[in-house]
Amino acid sequence: MSFQKKVNSVRNKFLSGVKFPTKLFVIIALGNFILLFFLFSSLKLDFASSQAKSNGNAGSYQGSYGTGDPLITKVPGLEDILDGPIINGPDPSLGPDKAPVVIAYFADYECRYCQKQEVVIKNIMEQYRDKIRLVWKDYPEKNVSSGSFSAALAGRCAEEQGQFWPFHDLLFENGDRLGKDLFITLAEKLNLKKRLFSECLEDEEVSQLVRDNILEAQALDIKGVPFIFINKQEIMGEATDDDLRKIIEAEFNKS
């Protein structure tokens, strides 16, 4: 008999004399199952807890940004930077660049109060001529298809050909019928190059100049027009010759 057969014979004799404990096997298997169940549940809870802590920390960080955490630097907006109108930008101006008194005038060609204020502004510029500087600021409606916004854009296009102020005067004289046909007619009246002017009316960069003025006005918390800055002095609404003269003379005395 081979060695392997002897081993099998002995094993069979041994097992045949042993009664297999079925109940014990079932109990042990059930115990192992319960143990594995609780072990798996524990691991799952630990993972969920670690995720919650991670999310909680992230939420805490984001919340601290919104509540003014002193260790986080806030990116300043335009309203945080400006303490007055932008004077040396691309806006149309009259008078010497280094004048001791600068008038920044926010207005809209459709505004009838601005039309009245325009007369006062012209008188003041005549009186002081080379002693003060006037900077024009567009503050039309936001709607780019409105007569208000399109007139502001047309004025900037006249500025491209060095005719802003004459065109500006004509826009105020015709504030009740603003539109592209009028703009072309006024451009022809001032002998502007019609093709260049028409192309300019569709130019996004020129349109952005008007939008920049709107953003500037909003950052300065200007609620309506006309609105005038004489250096840092603010005047909202219509102002008379005397109102403007008093402030201008007071500003001259400071310099």
Which tens digits make up the pLDDT trace of 144-158? 999 999 999 999 999
pLDDT tier for residue 22 given thresholds of 50, 70 and 90: low
137/152 Cα distance (integer angstroms): 9
Regarding whether 39 and 98 lie in a shared domain, the answer is no
Does some domain include residue 151?
yes
SS3 content of the chain, % helix, strand, coil (to 5): 60, 10, 30
Regarding whether 104 and 29 lie in a shared domain, the answer is no
pLDDT tier for residue 67 given thresholds of 50, 70 and 90: very low
68/81 Cα distance (integer angstroms): 18
Does some domain include residue 75?
no
Regarding whether 104 and 38 lie in a shared domain, the answer is no
204/199 Cα distance (integer angstroms): 10
Does some domain include residue 177?
yes
Regarding whether 120 and 10 lie in a shared domain, the answer is no
How many domains in the chain?
2
Look at residue 30 in the predicted model and tell me its pLDDT: 60
Regarding whether 189 and 237 lie in a shared domain, the answer is yes
pLDDT tier for residue 78 given thresholds of 50, 70 and 90: confident
Residue-range definition of the domain harbouring residue 31: 3-62
Q: Across all residues in the chain, what is the average pLDDT? A: 82
Regarding whether 230 and 109 lie in a shared domain, the answer is yes
> What type of residue is 121?
I
154/184 Cα distance (integer angstroms): 9
Regarding whether 140 and 19 lie in a shared domain, the answer is no
152/158 Cα distance (integer angstroms): 10
Does some domain include residue 79?
no
